[in-house]
C-alpha cells in the first residue's frame, strides 16, 4: 500500500515507505527465458552489425580450428626410424609459416570483433534506454508517486549498463562457443572417435553442474540489483531533502539507514560474486581431468598402434580437447555478469510492462475557444482502495470566476486539482469543461488549457529565458519579457548580470524562493491558459514577498477561471466564492463575509488562524 502524505496523497520520491524507512525486500527469480528472449529481440534490431559479427566470428573460429591441425603436421615432420631422428625441414618451415599467418589473421580479426561487439552492445542499449525513457514519460503520475525516484534512475543507469556489459562480453562468447564446439567436434571425430566420445562425456556433467548452480545463484543477483536501486533511492532522497534532515538532526539516522542497506548490499554482492565465480574453477577441474584421461588414452593407443595415432595427432587431440572445454569455461566465467544483466533487464522490463497513462480522449477541442466553465459532479476518489478521499463532491465554477478552496490538511483540496488535470482518474462521477467530459479531451489538449503554480516551484538547470519559455516554447523574446513584466519578475531579472541569459542552478537554488515563484508565474502567463490553478503558491514566502506575488497572481488571474488552494485565508478574502472542503465533501460555500456570518467551518478555520484579532 502506498505511503500517504498530506491530503491522502502518495508519499512521493521515497515511494512505498520511502528510502528513509524502506524495508529491504527479498526478491524471487522471475521469467528468465522471457527476459532473455526480449533482450535478443533488441539485439536483433541491429541486423547488419549482428550479421557482420557472426560472419567474422565464423572466420575466426575456422582459423582457430585449423591451427592444431597444422601443429600436428609440423610435429609429425619429425620422425624416428632406423635408429635415427629424421626431420623434413621444408615441410616444417611451410607449416610453421602457415601457423604464423593463421595466428596473425586471428589476432587482427579478434580486434575487429571487439569493435563490432562494442557497437552492437551500445546500439542495443541505445534502443533499450530510449524505449525506457519514452516509457517513463508515458507513466501515470501515480507510478512516480508510489515508486522510489532513485530506484527508477538506477534502472535507467546501472541496470542498462549491466545489460550493455553483458552484450559486449557475453554475446560474442556465446556465439563463439557454439561455433567452436561445432568445429572442434568435427576435427576431433576426424582424428579419433574414441577420444571424442571421452571428451564429450564431460558435457552432461558440465550442464548439470551449471544448471544447479544457476538456479541457486540467480536469487542473489536479482536481490543485488534491487538493493542497489534502494540505496540509490536513499541517497537521492537524502541529497534532495538534506536541509530538512539537518534541521531535524536526523543525519545519524540517515547514515544508519544507509549503513543498513549498504551492509545488506555488501553481503548480497559477496554471495553473488562468490557463487558466480565458483563456476569457473569447477569447469577448469573438469577440463583438466578430461585432459589427463585423453593424454593417457592417446599414449596407450600410440604404443599399441591403434588408429594410426602419432605424437602430433595426440597433441592435436589434446589441443582440441582444450578448445572443446574452453567455450564452456568461457560461458561459466561470464555467468555472473549474465545473471546480473538478466536481473537488471527484468527490472527494466518491469517498468516497460507497466500500464501507460490512460488517455481515451478523442475530442480535439480548440483551446482558444474554451470559456472555462467547470462542473465537478458526484466525485468519488481514493488513492488507496477502500480509503476514499472525496465522497461525492459537487462544485460548479463559472468562466472567469476566482474560486478559493480551503480546508484542513487531508480534506482533499489538492486531490481536486489532481483529478481536474487527470494526474489521477476518478473512481466515479465526472468533471466537465464547457460541458465536455474531460475524459473525452486528449490529455495534451486538456493540460495545455490549464496552468499550475505550485508551492514548490519547479525550475530547470537552464537560462531564465528557457525556464519561462517552458510554458510556450514557440513564444518570441517580446512575449517572454511581457510575461515577466506581468509576473513582476522583470525587475529582478534585469538586475542580474546576464539578465534573461542567467543560468539557474539546480532547482533554481541561486534565486530566492520569491524570485523562483515569480518565474513560475511568468511561465504560467506565457502559457496563456484558460484555467489557472494556484496551489499554496504563497505559503512558503515572507509577508513582503507575498505582496509582490499576490499582485503578480492578480495580473495572471485576469479573465481566467481560477482555482486557488490556500492555507493563508487572508489571501483569498476577495475571491468570488470560497469553498470549504471537509472530509471529502463541500461543507459550505460563499463569500468571505457570508461564511463569517454563518459561523460554520470557515469561521472556525479563520478564527484559529487569526485568534485574538477582530474578524
Q: What is the pLDDT of residues 587-609, one digit of tens each?
A: 899 888 888 888 888 888 888 77
d(CA 295, CA 299): 6
Please give the pLDDT value at position 398.
Answer: 92
Give the three cell numbers for residue 349: 522490463
Is the Cα dihedral 311, 313, 316, 320 positive or negative? negative
d(CA 532, CA 558): 10
- What SS3 state is found at 551? helix
Please give the pLDDT value at position 545.
Answer: 63
Number of neighbouring beta carbons within 10 Å of residue 330: 20
Contacts of 127 (CB under 8 A, 6+ apart): 42, 45, 46
Please give the pLDDT value at position 30.
Answer: 64
Please give the pLDDT value at position 28.
Answer: 40
- What SS3 state is found at 373? coil
d(CA 486, CA 508): 20
Within 13 Å and on the Cβ side, how many CA atoms surround 481?
A: 7
Within 13 Å and on the Cβ side, how many CA atoms surround 102?
A: 17
Taking a C-beta distance cutoff of 8 angstroms, is the pair 586, 396 a contact? no
What is the CA 357 to chain-centroid distance, rounded? 17
Number of neighbouring beta carbons within 10 Å of residue 476: 10
Please give the pLDDT value at position 507.
Answer: 67
Contacts of 519 (CB under 8 A, 6+ apart): 457, 459, 464, 467, 468, 487, 489, 508, 511
Please give the pLDDT value at position 376.
Answer: 93
Please give the pLDDT value at position 542.
Answer: 58
Phi, then psi, of 492 in degrees rounded to 5: -75, -30
Give the three cell numbers for residue 157: 543507469
d(CA 371, CA 590): 22
In the predicted model, residues of the chain with pLDDT beneath 50 are 1-29, 612-615
Please give the pLDDT value at position 16.
Answer: 34
d(CA 460, CA 335): 42
Amino acid at each position: 500500500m502506498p505511503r500517504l502524505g498530506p491530503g491522502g496523497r502518495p508519499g512521493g520520491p521515497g515511494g512505498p515507505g520511502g528510502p528513509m524507512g524502506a524495508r529491504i525486500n527479498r526478491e524471487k527469480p522471475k521469467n528468465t527465458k522471457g527476459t532473455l528472449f526480449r533482450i535478443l529481440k533488441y539485439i536483433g534490431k541491429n541486423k547488419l552489425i549482428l550479421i557482420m559479427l557472426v560472419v567474422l566470428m565464423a572466420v575466426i573460429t575456422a582459423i582457430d580450428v585449423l591451427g592444431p591441425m597444422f601443429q600436428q603436421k609440423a610435429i609429425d615432420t619429425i620422425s624416428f626410424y632406423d635408429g635415427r631422428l629424421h626431420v623434413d625441414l621444408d615441410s616444417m618451415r611451410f607449416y610453421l609459416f602457415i601457423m604464423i599467418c593463421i595466428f596473425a589473421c586471428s589476432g587482427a580479426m579478434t580486434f575487429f570483433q571487439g569493435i563490432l561487439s562494442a557497437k552492437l552492445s551500445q546500439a542495443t542499449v541505445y534502443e533499450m534506454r530510449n524505449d525506457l525513457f519514452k516509457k517513463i514519460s508515458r507513466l501515470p503520475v501515480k507510478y512516480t508517486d508510489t515508486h522510489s525516484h532513485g530506484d527508477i534512475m538506477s534502472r535507467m543507469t546501472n541496470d542498462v549498463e549491466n545489460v550493455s556489459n553483458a552484450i559486449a562480453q557475453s554475446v560474442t562468447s556465446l556465439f563463439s562457443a557454439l561455433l567452436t564446439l561445432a568445429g572442434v567436434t568435427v576435427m576431433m571425430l576426424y582424428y579419433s572417435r574414441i577420444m571424442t566420445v571421452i571428451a564429450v562425456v564431460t558435457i552432461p556433467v558440465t550442464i548439470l553442474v551449471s544448471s544447479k548452480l544457476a538456479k541457486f545463484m540467480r536469487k542473489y543477483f536479482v536481490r543485488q540489483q534491487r538493493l542497489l536501486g534502494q540505496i540509490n533511492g536513499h541517497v537521492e532522497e537524502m541529497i534532495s531533502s538534506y536541509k530538512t534532515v539537518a534541521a531535524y538532526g536526523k543525519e545519524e539516522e540517515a547514515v544508519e539507514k544507509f549503513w543498513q542497506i549498504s551492509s545488506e548490499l555488501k553481503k548480497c554482492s559477496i554471495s553473488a560474486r562468490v557463487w558466480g565465480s565458483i563456476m569457473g574453477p569447477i569447469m577448469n577441474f573438469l577440463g583438466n581431468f578430461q585432459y589427463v584421461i585423453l593424454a593417457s588414452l592417446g599414449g596407450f593407443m600410440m604404443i599399441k598402434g591403434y588408429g594410426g595415432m602419432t605424437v602430433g595427432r595426440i597433441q592435436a587431440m589434446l589441443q582440441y580437447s582444450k578448445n572443446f572445454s574452453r567455450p564452456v569455461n568461457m560461458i561459466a566465467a561470464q555467468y555472473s555478469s549474465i545473471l546480473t544483466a538478466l536481473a537488471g533487464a527484468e527490472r527494466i522490463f518491469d517498468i516497460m510492462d507497466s500500464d501507460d497513462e490512460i488517455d481515451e480522449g478523442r475530442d480535439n477541442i480548440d483551446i482558444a475557444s474554451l470559456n472555462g466553465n467547470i462542473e465537478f459532479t458526484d466525485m468519488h476518489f481514493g488513492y488507496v482502495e477502500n480509503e476514499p478521499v472525496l465522497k461525492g463532491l459537487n462544485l460548479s465554477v463559472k468562466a472567469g470566476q476566482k474560486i478559493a478552496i480551503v480546508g484542513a490538511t487531508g480534506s482533499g483540496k489538492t486531490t481536486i486539482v489532481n483529478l481536474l488535470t487527470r494526474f489521477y482518474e476518478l473512481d466515479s462521477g465526472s468533471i466537465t469543461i464547457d460541458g465536455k467530459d474531460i475524459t473525452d479531451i486528449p490529455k495534451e489538449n486538456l493540460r495545455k488549457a490549464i496552468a499550475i503554480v505550485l508551492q514548490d516551484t519547479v525550475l530547470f538547470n537552464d537560462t531564465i529565458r528557457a525556464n519561462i519559455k517552458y510554458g510556450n516554447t514557440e513564444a518570441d523574446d517580446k512575449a517572454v519579457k511581457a510575461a515577466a513584466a506581468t509576473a513582476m519578475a522583470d525587475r529582478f531579472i534585469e538586475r542580474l548580470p546576464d539578465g534573461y541569459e542567467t543560468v539557474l542552478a539546480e532547482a533554481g537554488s541561486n534565486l530566492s524562493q520569491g524570485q523562483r515563484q515569480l518565474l513560475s508565474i511568468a511561465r504560467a502567463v506565457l502559457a496563456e491558459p484558460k484555467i489557472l490553478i494556484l496551489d499554496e503558491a504563497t505559503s512558503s514566502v515572507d509577508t513582503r514577498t507575498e505582496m509582490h506575488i499576490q499582485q503578480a497572481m492578480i495580473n495572471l488571474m485576469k479573465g481566467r477561471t481560477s482555482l486557488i488552494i490556500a492555507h493563508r485565508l487572508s489571501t483569498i478574502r476577495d475571491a468570488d466564492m470560497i469553498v470549504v472542503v471537509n472530509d471529502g465533501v463541500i461543507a459550505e460555500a460563499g463569500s468571505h463575509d457570508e461564511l463569517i456570518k454563518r459561523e460554520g467551518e470557515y469561521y472556525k478555520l479563520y478564527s484559529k488562524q487569526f485568534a485574538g484579532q477582530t474578524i
